[in-house]
Amino acid sequence: MADIEALNGETFELASNAYRSADNESLAWMRAEAASVLGQIALRTDGDYGRALSEEALRYFEAQQMHDMVANELYMSAFSWWKQRDSQSLKNAEQLFRRSAEAAQRADNPFGVAYAEAGLCGVLEQQGRVAEALLSCRASLPKLKGIRHITEYSTNVNYAAALLANKEPGQAMVILESLAKDWPEWDVGYHGYRYYFIRGQTYAALDHYEAAVSDLNVALSELLEFGDNSWARNNRLVQARFRVEQLAQSLERKTLEAAEKDRRHRLLVVSGVIVTLLLSVIVMMLLRHRRFYRRMAFTDPLTGLANRRYTEARAQEAFVHAKARQQPLFIALLDLDRFKTCNDRYGHDAGDEALKRFAYVASKILRPGDIFGRWGGEEFLLVLQGVDRDEANTILERLRSAAAAERLKLAPDYPLHFSAGVVGLQHDTEQLAELLTLADQALYQAKEAGRNRSYFAKDYAVLN
């Protein structure tokens, strides 16, 4: 997935320069990307300005029907409204989270849907709409489970709060106790206060008043600590700021007779260091989050391969490149044979194992430049560039042999075979969709001929 990682090389400086420079229509995509990065930085400190930048990026992404990016922009804007916590802001957040979920659904991105539902879980709980909050919490948590991201933690806390409001303190306590075991010694910021506050109320509802008082005191301490420090206190910025302030005080004591101008100059230098450190930390954190969101937007969560949308986008790029340079290109649709039988006989877990093992084998066998992704169900798309017909068949047969050698733990008698429909780029081919249609027809012929073989489109000459 090196291509996905390459999308994450943005820096604050590059984003700023790109935003200023990309002022014509041909560079609209660059300005939108830059506005997205800068907007997410600004949302940390200036919600209105950050949302204005995000809205600019959103207009472009919507016009291009880039639904995964639309979902991301809407989520970040919704989250900034949610943090303001007043009644109107919560309504704004709810509306944007719902739009984010719809966009993620259109992008076939279940993780994006889960994140939007997690936001709705918190917003609806804070609005007192308990039944709706419970539905959103339960919709999001199965997908978030095990990702070890703060969203998983905060959604569990919000779920417990909704259960408590629904007069289910026993169930709420089960959720809270599991968090204490699964997230030891994590710095969870504001959500640490929320955890102890909700658990204290839950203890009280269960008539454990001593434990309730203890937790509510801890909640107060956490809230005071959170208020005194910035959202980034879990890094070393606070320590650096403290040391700088100590140095400034020492210098002040030793230079009481120095000129006011010199003293102000020193303070400006110190402030500049702090601001530089803060911006560096913000950019690093933003890029980590952005990498995480992008990976979710472009990856099939079961196999780890590129999902259909990203695979099709890369196939389109390869098609345009090959056609412009009159270079050979072959597209193959691969379908696991008798996959439904595997599911029916051994269960869906065995089917999932088959898909994951096939993806793993393909990642080992295929060349670094080959494009391979999950197309849907048990289908995969393979794009081979710079090869002739015989070379394309050799690659497919090498993959076929490696897959056939695999033995599944959950379905030991299921052979990992596949059929393939293959089509080559012709000089009169105008659209990628034409090749996909021909490949699908050839795949049908391969299935009709007995499976576990490759057919090339048009003449249907069987290979293997």
With contact defined as beta carbons under 8 Å apart, do 219 and 200 qualify? yes
**Of the spans 2-6, 112-116, 275-279, which averages the highest pLDDT?**
112-116
Whether residue 289 is found in the same domain as residue 407? no
| Type of residue at 74 | L
What does the pLDDT average to over 299-323? 89
Q: 100 is in which domain, residue-wise?
A: 2-239
Instruction: Kindly state the tokens that stand for 21.
Output: 């420079």
Task: Establish if 24 belongs to a structural domain.
Answer: yes
Identify whether 303 is part of a domain.
no
The DSSP code for 306 is B
pLDDT > 70? residue 9: no
pLDDT band with cut points at 50, 70 and 90 for residue 3: very low
- Alpha-carbon distance of 268 to 321, in angstroms, equals 53
Using the predicted structure, report yes or no on whether residue 292 has a pLDDT greater than 60: no
Q: Both 231 and 346 in a single domain?
A: no
Catalytic residues, by residue number, are 378
Q: Which residue would you say has higher pLDDT here, 168 or 462?
A: 168
Q: Are strands 418-424 and 454-456 parallel, antiparallel or unpaired?
A: parallel
Predicted TM-score of the model (pTM): 0.49
On whether both 74 and 161 belong to a single domain, the answer is yes
Number of domains, the chain: 3
CATH of the domain at 200: 1.25.40.10
140-188 pLDDT, tens digit each: 888 888 767 778 888 888 899 999 999 999 998 998 888 776 665 555 5
265 and 234 belong to one structural domain:
no
What does the DSSP assignment read for 354-375?
Answer: HHHHHHHHHHHHS-TT-EEEEE
Residues 221 and 340 placed together within one structural domain of the fold: no
- What average pLDDT score do residues 437-456 get? 94
How far apart are the C-alpha atoms of 411 and 353, rounded to whole Å? 9
Domain termination residue (choose one: 218, 239, 260) = 239
The more confidently predicted of residues 414 and 217 is: 414
Residues 233, 165, single domain; the answer is: yes
56 lies in some domain:
yes
My answer on whether 92 and 114 are in the same domain is yes
| Cα gap 409→34, rounded to integer Å | 47
pLDDT-based confidence at residue 50 (cuts at 50, 70, 90):
confident
Average pLDDT of the chain, as a whole number? 78
Q: Is the pLDDT of residue 434 over 50?
A: yes
Are the CB atoms for 160 and 176 separated by under 8 Å?
yes
Residue 260 lies in a domain: yes
State the Cα–Cα distance between residues 141 and 430, nearest whole angstrom.
45
pLDDT beyond 50 at 239? no
| Per-residue pLDDT at 1 exceeds 60 | no
Asked whether the predicted pLDDT for residue 5 surpasses 60, the reply is no
Query: Considering 191, 207, 239, which residue would you say is the last residue of a domain?
Result: 239
pLDDT at 311 over 70: yes
Are residues 411 and 331 part of one domain? yes
Q: Is the pLDDT of residue 266 over 90?
A: no
Tell me the CATH number at 393. Answer: 3.30.70.270
